[in-house]
Structure 1
Amino acid sequence: MELPQIDPTADPCGYLGIIRNPDGSITRTLKLPQCPASSDAAVLSKDIPINKETNTWARVYLPRRPESSAAPATKLPLLIYYHGGGFILGSAAALFIHKLCCEIASEIPAVVVSVDYRLAPEHRLPAAYDDCMEALEWVRSTGEEWLTDFADLSKCFLMGTSAGGNIAYHVGLRAVTCGDGLVPVKIQGLILHHPFFGGVERTPSEVRLANDKVFPPCVADVMWDLGLPIGVDRDHEYANPMTADKSHDFEKVRDQGWRVLVTGCEGDPLVDRQIGLVKMLKEKGVDVVSEFSEGGFHGVEHFDDSKAKILYNVVKNFVLSF
């Protein structure tokens, strides 16, 4: 995956490959390479509809193993993945998302369900949260054999990158209130990879990296403007978790024994918000594991295979620690 050759601070919309239309929609001119579901040497994958009315679907990944023709004696952990793209871009069929999910499925190993949700501004938040919660309900009730035969639904993890990390956080807080309503699915933890959060007041890292060439705050501002409900600002709870009192939900997260993994890097303008989230969760009694690296930039693992390998190992250690 390559970065667009446009200065994001000079032309945020051009950098994102979008044109804002008078009716509130956007035209997406940046065509990300797509990849069909496949049966490669290490991982099988296939696409399954979730809701035909909203056109949501999931790509399910199954590591190829010698015993894959029959149900294994020990089932694999289940990882439900939400892609990034600032709520306005991306797809579970994007080549770089497909590659990441294949590698995670193979490295852990785990069954991975990558959710394709509706995008803003045509479908503003909380549409993505609704779709991803519906996908969780689908996992609970589906008779899809790759899940019933190979996945241990009692070892479920919600993972997302960037905006997907934001989704994993908010869907997790919804799911924790369901109690036994998700049985046989039992969530063990959340994996927030470079999670996308915001706020009206700039953080020191956002000021320091105001001219970042990958994901400067001005680009994030455009995404929030298009993704949030009309009429709210970046201090809305969807963007800024510090503004909402979720103490009761955090108590349930703690009582159910969930753990939260937050990953980030110092070269990401969002790093201070991610560190702040870790601090807040710890203060609420949530068991949090944080991994912050030097250098890097937002979503670096999509561009640097050596960094991606480190991420896969961190995720593997987290999942297998349960």
Structure 2
Amino acid sequence: MASKEIEKEIPTYITLYKDGTVDRPRQTPYAAPSLDGTPHVSSKDIIISQNPSISARLYLPKPLPQTHKLPILVYFHGGGFFFESAFSELYHNYFNTFVSRLPVLVVSVEYRLAPEHYLPAAYDDCFAALQWVASHSSNNTTEPWLIDYGDFSRIFIGGDSAGGNIVHNVAMRAGSEALEEGGNVNLLGAIYVHPYFYSSEAIGSESVSEHEKSLGYIVWDFVYPNAPGGINNPMVNPFAPGAPSLASLGCSKILVCLAGNDSIRDRGVWFFEGLNKSGWKGKSELFEEAGEDHVYHIFHPETEKAKKITDRMASFILD
């Protein structure tokens, strides 16, 4: 049988064929949720929207608190905007470990992926998911875990890699659009874990001569081929000419987490320093783990260094 013609690809990551089919060789398998699957965590899947298709996996710690409600973490998974899933083995295992260490209600969002749905679809989906969560503050929707156990005065957003980029764009949008009319809703904080940012100019350890061939450049072109401004679109370059000021970020505290061996580590520093010069009035924190690579804690959530970053997130959320 003749091989299919390739439309475009990022070798070893994703291939789009001319017949519209897509291969994602790094995608990890689906994992089922479980109300009683682990000693310390319950999980279930819910539908947020049919059109567009947005869903989520919810996680609750066990035993449940009897006298107080839990902070809510709305989470956006990584995967370059084109692979991985809130329902994958990788993220399911991560959140089972995460929630066993941290008393928080997690809403892990399943958003639409490129190339079937190019950006800004993922941004729109994730903001819609946050609005859906916030809508439960006035009890006008039907997800009992949120109504019964969620503290809407302590909502956080978080994400890793591409998900960290989504965190930023959702936080910017939350600074100008209401999450919920009425109700006691407060987007308190944002957690940027190994966030993906880029620009046309190389910074730090990035190669000037190879910059336009780098993975950061290639990914953006793949997932948002018609982005106004290209790699200097404000959604990936928050300091591009004409980009909205970070002073308008819609949360009061931010934690940026980095890994010392991560190829985009310097971009995280670049963002953190720019944030602190932007006029934003919130509180910013930086956490870096030396000697570790990109999203090490997602791949190996049981390690001591993974527990260390989880404990830092816990202090940020519970403080």
TM bucket, shorter chain: 0.7 to 0.9
Change (3 A) 1:218 1:80: same
Change (3 A) 1:237 1:23: farther
Match of 2:18 in 1: 22
CA distance in 2 between partners of 1:266 and 1:225 (Å):
26
The answer on 1:237 being equivalent to 2:231 is no
Change (3 A) 1:231 1:49: closer
Match of 1:175 in 2: 174
More helix per residue: 1
Match of 1:5 in 2: none
Percent identity of paired positions between Structure 1 and Structure 2? 35
| Worse-superposed segment, 165-174 or 283-292 | 283-292
For 1:1-322, list aligned pairs within 5 A: 13-16=10-13, 18-22=14-18, 26-38=22-34, 39=36, 40-65=38-63, 68=64, 72-141=66-135, 142-179=141-178, 181=180, 183-207=183-207, 218-230=214-226, 232=228, 233-243=230-240, 244-247=242-245, 250-251=247-248, 253=250, 258-286=252-280, 287-304=283-300, 305-321=303-319
CA distance in 1 between partners of 2:213 and 2:253 (Å):
29
2:236 maps to a residue whose letter is A
CA distance in 1 between partners of 2:156 and 2:86 (Å):
17
SS across alignment from 2:286: strand
SS across alignment from 1:77: strand
1:189 maps to a residue whose letter is G
Q: 1:159-214: per-residue Cα shift (whole Å, max 9, x none)?
A: 00000010011001111223473643311010000001111222222239x89xxx
CA distance in 2 between partners of 1:92 and 1:101 (Å):
10
CA distance in 1 between partners of 2:91 and 2:190 (Å):
18
Q: 1:22-72: per-residue Cα shift (whole Å, max 9, x none)?
A: 36763324441221111221100000011112221010001111xx3xx73
SS across alignment from 2:267: helix
Once the 2 structures are TM-superposed, how far is the Cα of residue 298 of structure 1 from its aligned partner? 1.1
Could you tell me whether the CA contact under 8 Å between 1:217 and 1:269 is conserved in 2?
A: no
CA distance in 2 between partners of 1:231 and 1:45 (Å):
36
Q: TM-score, normalised by structure 1?
A: 0.85
Q: TM-score, normalised by structure 2?
A: 0.85
| Pairs aligned (count) | 296
Structure 2 unaligned runs (5+)? 1-8, 136-140
CA distance in 1 between partners of 2:179 and 2:304 (Å):
40
Once the 2 structures are TM-superposed, how far is the Cα of residue 266 of structure 1 from its aligned partner? 2.1
Change (3 A) 1:284 1:30: closer
Change (3 A) 1:96 1:31: closer
Change (3 A) 1:179 1:231: closer
Change (3 A) 1:317 1:221: same
Could you tell me whether the CA contact under 8 Å between 1:251 and 1:284 is conserved in 2?
A: no
Once the 2 structures are TM-superposed, how far is the Cα of residue 110 of structure 1 from its aligned partner? 0.3
Higher relative contact order, structure no. (Cα contacts within 8 Å, ≥ 6 residues apart): 1
| Worse-superposed segment, 293-302 or 109-118 | 293-302
